[in-house]
């Protein structure tokens, strides 16, 4: 359920229906070139590109440009990129996610958790209401996009949560530019969903059981960080210790992404079930240094049918810097690294995934 966007992107709004019809056709047929009008970049992507990003099979959350073309009037589009990229061009009517705010944490006795009130207020500030069906887009399907999806889930969002496979590159519909006009804020009262995250203490209580009769545990960081490779530039100076949580397996989150789209779902099933040995019917916890990158794996696993996936929002930073090291052990040797071959496309200066966002 979505309200009409309030910004106009400088377009006078005439001819929308006609244009939409053309664009819907373009999502599955041939479109030639762009017909620009002042302030509206309009069609700029061949249908072949759009078709490349369509999502088939039994995959949740990820949708292609065709789906968006069919449902554009029924969803709130949230753009997870940074302000500069947002100004340069976006899906018409999209609203920019206040990204820093949706990564807010609240520090409780048992560890950091998403600050549901702050996150809800952030979404409300861009006019998102709890029942809105939402589509999140970015330059690709990087972790800024997935963090936005996670943040919605964490505050108990009642509407559907979709992400646009292929990102803006796959959208051959109407585009907007400029800063856009302010949207009316919406009331958003959080209904926190603690089943989407775990705390540090939750992990402490299960030390020794991960991937060995207990929950699955996936470290999404680059293998050098997981392995605490001596002298590696990826080791974070803010961490008092390096390595990984006991029992965690390493599957670098970039393996979830192939260029601007999600990795082939069949390959993802092979990766996570076949090679990593995760149980789709059990609980799987994902973590990284921060609370952005792991959401890529969180959404990916949910998309391919894992039933109970949770993010450790405090991340390795919290764990490595905990005072009582005996209760928060870190392993460095005898590791399991599942190699991935993914890559994240898009302009990496756009802030669309968290290495860059």
CA dihedral 291, 295, 297, 303 (to 10 degrees): 160
Tokens of 117: 């009130």
Interface residues with another protein (CB under 8 A)? 207-208, 212, 228, 230, 241-243, 246-247, 323-334
Query: Burial of 281 by CB count in 10 Å (0-12 exposed, 13-18 middle, 19+ buried)?
Result: exposed
CB 82 → another protein: shortest distance, Å?
37
CA-to-CA separations, 257 to 167, 222, 272, 279, in angstroms, rounded: 12, 14, 14, 21
Nearer to another protein, 57 or 213 (CB): 213
CB 318 → another protein: shortest distance, Å?
14
CB 322 → another protein: shortest distance, Å?
9
Q: Is the dihedral of CA 238, 353, 178, 70 positive or negative?
A: negative
CB 281 → another protein: shortest distance, Å?
23
Tokens of 131: 């029942």
Nearer to another protein, 95 or 244 (CB): 244
* CB within 8 Å of 205: residues ≥ 6 apart: none
Nearer to another protein, 57 or 231 (CB): 231
Report the SS3 class of residue 164: strand
CA-to-CA separations, 115 to 63, 82, 150, 292, in angstroms, rounded: 28, 21, 12, 14
Please give the Cα distance from 221 to 327 (Å, whole number).
22
CB 213 → another protein: shortest distance, Å?
11
Nearer to another protein, 216 or 246 (CB): 246
Nearer to another protein, 193 or 336 (CB): 336
Nearer to another protein, 57 or 326 (CB): 326
Nearer to another protein, 65 or 246 (CB): 246
CB 218 → another protein: shortest distance, Å?
17
Residues in the chain: 357
* Cβ atoms of 173 and 92 closer than 8 Å: yes
CB 122 → another protein: shortest distance, Å?
33
CB 72 → another protein: shortest distance, Å?
51
Instruction: Look at phi and psi of residue 42 and say left if phi exceeds 0, alpha if psi is from -120 to 50, else beta.
Output: left
Q: What is the distance in angstroms between the CA of the first residue and the CA of the last residue of the chain?
A: 28
Tokens of 145: 């996009």
Closest to 150 measured CA to CA, from 318, 345, 303: 303
Nearer to another protein, 181 or 325 (CB): 325
């Amino acid at each position: 359920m979505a309200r009409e966007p309030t910004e106009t992107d400088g377009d006078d709004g005439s001819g929308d229906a006609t244009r939409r019809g053309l664009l819907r056709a373009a999502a599955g047929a041939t479109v030639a070139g762009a017909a620009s009008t002042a302030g509206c970049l309009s069609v700029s992507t061949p249908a072949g590109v759009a078709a490349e990003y369509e999502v088939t099979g039994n995959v949740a959350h990820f949708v292609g440009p065709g789906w968006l073309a069919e449902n554009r009037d029924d969803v709130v589009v949230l753009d997870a990129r940074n302000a500069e990229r947002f100004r340069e061009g976006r899906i018409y009517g999209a609203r920019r996610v206040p990204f820093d705010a949706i990564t807010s944490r609240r520090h409780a006795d048992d560890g950091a958790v998403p600050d549901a009130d702050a996150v809800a207020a952030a979404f409300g500030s861009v006019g998102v209401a709890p029942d809105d069906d939402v589509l999140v887009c970015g330059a690709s399907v990087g972790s800024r996009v997935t963090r936005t999806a996670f943040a919605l889930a964490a505050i108990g969002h009642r509407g559907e949560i979709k992400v646009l496979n292929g990102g803006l590159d796959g959208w051959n519909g109407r585009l907007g530019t400029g800063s856009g006009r302010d949207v009316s804020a919406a009331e958003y009262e959080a209904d926190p969903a603690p089943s989407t995250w775990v705390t540090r203490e939750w992990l402490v209580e299960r030390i020794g059981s991960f991937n060995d009769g207990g929950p699955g545990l996936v470290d999404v960081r680059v293998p050098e960080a997981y392995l605490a490779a001596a002298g590696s530039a990826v080791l974070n100076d803010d961490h008092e210790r390096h390595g990984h949580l006991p029992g965690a397996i390493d599957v670098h989150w970039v393996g979830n992404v192939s260029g601007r789209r999600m990795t082939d779902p069949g390959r993802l099933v092979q990766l996570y079930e076949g090679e990593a040995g995760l149980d789709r019917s059990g609980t799987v916890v994902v973590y990284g240094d921060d609370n952005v990158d792991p959401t890529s794996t969180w959404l990916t696993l949910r998309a391919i049918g894992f039933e109970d996936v949770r993010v450790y929002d405090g991340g390795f930073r919290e764990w490595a810097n905990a005072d009582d090291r005996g209760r928060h052990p870190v392993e460095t040797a005898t590791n399991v690294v599942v190699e991935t071959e993914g890559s994240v496309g898009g302009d990496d200066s756009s802030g669309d995934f968290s290495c860059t966002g």
